[in-house]
Amino acid sequence: MRWAELRGLVAVAAVAGAIVFAWTTIEEREVTSGATTTTSTSTTTTTVVVTSTITPTYAVEALCAQTATLSAQIGLLPSDVGPGPVAHIVLSYYTRIKHLVPPEIAPEIAAIIDFYEDFIATGEAFDYNTAKIILEGDKEKYQQLVTRPAPGLESVRAVVAETCQVEVPAQYRISALGFDELEDRLLDPPDE
């Protein structure tokens, strides 16, 4: 069996294991909610009280299961995959974990979700081809997205790495100098 096939089998097994673990963990958790309704003849007042038995321990377990699944999904992608598929997977991950993280980093998660939504909206129409975006798209917005750090991303990555011992993928980046050089070559080609 070749190394690539073995690596693929291991990645599939890891994803399946993470899904089974997450599924059984979620199924075992009890979530309770209560609702009360008060009605009078002239007005109706409804009060809904929702309580949850999600504990910090459960949140950490679920966060780590989601992170392991993310890592396995990224591991299944070909090494030469562009930033689009990774951005979609990572956006889905941050959307799923936004309720599992401590309230102190919830604003960072919201900023990361906004970042990836903007990145996908700006790049997807051009298949994330930087040259096409410079020539035909919103090059200023794309330049800001790929040459500057996403707000909150590094601090959240550090928290997840410390908590779960798994690295979350870094953002797709181009150096500001590299972007400017490409823009200059495309928009102001040298005279021959």
The two structure tokens encoding residue 186:
């495309």
Q: Give pLDDT, residue 79.
A: 85
Q: What is the mean pLDDT of residues 11-26?
A: 54
pTM attached to this predicted model: 0.68
Report which of 20, 15, 45, 50 is spatially closest to residue 35, judged by C-alpha positions: 50
Q: Is the pLDDT higher at 20 or at 66?
A: 66
Domain positions in the chain are 55-187
Reported as a single tens digit per residue, the pLDDT across 139-166 is 899 999 999 989 999 999 999 999 999 8
Q: Is the pLDDT higher at 37 or at 119?
A: 119
Q: Give pLDDT, residue 49.
A: 47
What is the rounded distance in angstroms from the CA atom of residue 65 to the CA atom of residue 164? Answer: 9
Does the structure show a pLDDT above 80 at 15? no
Q: Can you state the angle between helices 139-147 and 176-187, rounded to 10 degrees?
A: 150
The two structure tokens encoding residue 134:
């410079």
Reported as a single tens digit per residue, the pLDDT across 42-62 is 555 555 544 445 577 888 999
DSSP-derived secondary structure for 127-187? TT-HHHHHHHS-HHHHHHHHHSPPTTHHHHHHHHHHHHS-PPPPPP---HHHHHHHHHHHH
Q: Give pLDDT, residue 24.
A: 57
Does residue 177 sit in helix, strand or coil?
helix
45 neighbors 144 (Cβ within 8 angstroms): no
Residue with tokens 């102190």: 104
Quickly state the pLDDT bin for 90 (edges 50, 70, 90). very high
Q: What is the mean pLDDT of residues 56-69?
A: 90
The neighbouring-strand residues paired with 133 are none
Does the structure show a pLDDT above 90 at 93? yes
Q: Give pLDDT, residue 17.
A: 55
Q: Give the distance from CA 147 to its chain's centroid.
A: 18
Q: Give pLDDT, residue 56.
A: 78
Side-chain half-sphere exposure of 165, counting CA atoms within 13 A: 1
The two structure tokens encoding residue 22:
């997450």
